[in-house]
Chain A
Amino acid sequence: MTTAISVSGLVKTFGRTRALDGLDLTVEQGEVHGFLGPNGSGKSTTIRVLLGLLRADSGTAVLLGGDPWRDAVPLHRRLAYVPGDVTLWRNLSGGEAIDLLGRLRGGLDPARRAALLERFELDPTKKGRTYSKGNRQKVALVAAFASDVDLLILDEPTSGLDPLMEEVFRDCVTEARDRGATVLLSSHILSEVEALCDRVSIIRAGRTVETGTLADLRHLTRTSIDAELAGPPPRPDYVHDLAVDGHRLRCQVDTDRLGELLTALNAVGLRTLTSRPPTLEELFLRHYEGDGGATEPSAAAVVR
């Protein structure tokens, strides 16, 4: 078995809302898979189907070779989950919550637990109600990373963490992958996804719109060109966002027309040339702004 998660054609409706509309997702064993999408696009719904908390209306989902709904209990021994908004029991200390969550999935490594508490600078003696949002998040992260599991399902796990803790989080994900674990990382923070993920899936309105390695995805998109020419720049009709200022030209070009544009620029005479591959951010924005209209208002705001 080399596929950790295999989802196809997943549909889930809540009343009139179609939260998942034929979603596909494949996560290979041992990879860190980025799961991107704006608020309300169905990321958390997908994850809760994978956890057996929700039952899909149609489509198939296979998790670690089992059925997430039917085999929930044995499957949960092999995975750890960190929700995006952790709520703790008011009268349990953070340390108690960590131990409880670890034991519910079959125990955790005490040495790693101690090391993680140190690294995340978390005081385990405070009661659940007194933790800040970031610290509640750390409680769930320590419980997850201290367990020896095959699969980590992380749903926007770094909301509320400061940049230093975000760094610790990235190290922990890398270490988990080095141990052979598979990671599904749902996130809004594109730099985090770019730094950590082998492959990404981008979803929108309950449907997968793009999936592949970052290199694959870049290939499908546009490169930014900034060139200083010897004479008046050409104005080819296949480029986007063209801006001409004297002999200077700035534009974006589809990757498959890049050669054509360079030939045209060369014909005028190139003085300087800067080309920049698309960032994940541009890629993301293109999917949510590109085919206008249906984009949720929050989509632009979530891209930092």
Chain B
Amino acid sequence: MSGQALRAPGGHDLTGTGVLYRLALRRDRIALPVWVYIGTAMVASTVFSFRTLYADEASRRTFAAGIDGNGSLRALYGPVFDGSTTGGLTAWRMGVFGAVLAALMSTLLVVRHTRAEEEDGRLELVGAGAVGRRAPLTAALAAALTANAALAALVTAALLAAGQGAAGSLAFGLALGTAGLFFAALAAVAAQLAETARAANGLAGAAVGAAFVLRAIGDAGTGASWISWLSPIGWSEQVRAFADDRWWVLLLPLAGAALLTALARTLVARRDLGAGLLPQRPGPAAAPPALASAAALARRLQRGPLLGWALALAAAGAVFGGVAKGVVDLIGDNRQMAEVLARMGGQQGVLDAYLSSIATVFGMVAAVYAVQAVLRMRAEEVSGRAEPVLAGAVSRLRWAAGHLLFPLLGTALLLAAAGLTAGLAEGLALGHGTGTAVGRMLGAALVQLPAVWLTAAVALAGYALLPHLAAAGWTGFGVFVLVAWLGPILRLPQGVLDLSPFSHLPHLPGGRLDAAPLLWITALTALTTAAALAGLRRRDLG
């Protein structure tokens, strides 16, 4: 990518924005609706479940008081501004996470249509047409505006449908949408600084993470609540939907988005196409001696993502373990909630039920990783990078084995990391022996492994046997997780629940450790893997 700047005659630097905007929406016609749907569905399911679980005002007030007395819960979700209404509780429960979701949707979208396009060289093709210098950036931001407006409208509609107040519903929808818009503009700046899409997503993701942490510190209730005001996610909370409906706070993210957009527009005009403003480091001129096999290449490609997942799961373990006490106190007197938890996994006692349900969540998250690690093979094949490797003295089985080590052992590492930190945090928070707590949580997390492996094996079979269907790898995961997660809430019949290997796992801690399901799920994994590999050996590649 050489350094010709995107030049257009003065005053026409927005030419072509409309075409690029429609192109962006067309390319994202699946992804954006899915993001918006997930955001809306999360809010809708929260408001509906709160309506059933805390039907009267007294129970809502008790619940809210419990949250306010618990620093770790406030750090995770923020404070409750008005616990008397279902809308207020929903705003508490979904405010921070909804804003994070809108932020990630927006940053990924903007980087996808700016820096990623530029890195792949497609923008060069577009830039050579009658397209203004600022058109691609403007089109990406316009697409982000569309997505966030849709999210705000649908979230508002979902809350209205659940019978919540109109002003509060609108305030909450706009609080999420404006947070998304702010981070879209921030990603536009990141896309100018970094030379690669990955680095731009990293910068924008770090900003979202920093915003989350800043408001967590402020909300934890150590007397420094002003820190929340430094965070755009904090602004989203401070709109106080269903409590005060402070509309003026919405101006903060909007003003921030305007400033960042102006900055990005200045930067895009000052740099060459393809160049970033942050320097790019050169790599080594020769490979280290160890990089000498297909397995070594697979390790090199997969180790970074594995490390990232392990850190994220360890952090999630610490958070979920740390809030164990608060959850137990909260749920203690709500029979219905305890019942849902018990159906999801818990056996005896609210604490065991809670810990068991988070172990299931760890298992499902590890399954996402496993499917993604399996599908790295598909990415290598589709991009043509597998071809020169397999034109070397490398058999397909060896090539596949190098990659499959990650869904096999990487998942064990992830679950161990999550179990370790969850047990440690829970032990410290509840003040009983950390050694026992760690042992219990490690076991509860690791017992998920056979189901995670089977999910990975089904993904492998999809990739190996139906190579032309990109979605084949994810179908098994979708069925397994939807059934195991939503099945108990929707009270699906046992026959349907049995479809998911996660439904067959022993409920640890607290439940009986029954080895039989672990063994047959593992055996099924081995059979599926063998069939998939036999298919991979026989089929056309590339």
Contact = CB atoms under 8 A, between A and B. Distances in A.
Interface of A: 48, 51-55, 72-74, 76-77, 79, 81, 83, 85-101, 103-106, 124-127, 129-130, 132, 140, 153
A161 B408 CA distance: 43
Contacts, number: 119
**Which of B119, B285, B300 has its CB near the most chain A CB atoms (within 10 A)?**
B285
A77 B119 CA distance: 35
Contacts of B125: none
A95 B283 contact: yes
B196 A55 contact: no
In the A-B complex, the 4 residue pairs with the smallest Cβ-Cβ separation, listed nearest first, are A104-B392, A93-B283, A99-B287, A125-B282
B286 A124 contact: yes
Contacts of B287: 92, 95-100, 103
B283 A90 contact: no
8 contacts: A76-B393, A79-B391, A88-B385, A89-B385, A99-B287, A99-B292, A101-B392, A124-B286
Interface residues of B, number: 39
B385 A81 contact: no
Contacts of A98: 287
B393 A74 contact: yes
Interface stretch (B251-259, B358-366, B486-494, B534-542): B534-542
B384 A76 contact: no
Interface of B: 1-2, 119, 195-196, 198, 280, 282-287, 291-294, 296-297, 300-301, 304, 383-385, 387-395, 538-542
Contacts of B198: 90
Contacts of B294: 104
A125 to B, nearest CB: 4
A129 B391 contact: no
A100 B385 CA distance: 12
A49 B385 CA distance: 17
A89 B304 CA distance: 14
Interface of B is mostly: loop
Contacts of A86: 384, 388
**Which of B119, B284, B388 has its CB near the most chain A CB atoms (within 10 A)?**
B388
B291 A54 contact: no
A103 B394 CA distance: 11
A87 B385 contact: yes
B542 A53 contact: yes
B284 A96 contact: yes
Contacts of A53: 387, 390-391, 540-542
Contact of A95 (B196, B284, B301, B539): B284
Contact of B393 (A73, A92, A97, A132): A73
Contacts of A94: 283
**Which of B283, B301, B389 has its CB near the most chain A CB atoms (within 10 A)?**
B283
Contact of B286 (A55, A85, A89, A95): A95
Nearest to B542: A53
A125 B393 contact: no
A92 B2 contact: no
A170 B196 CA distance: 35
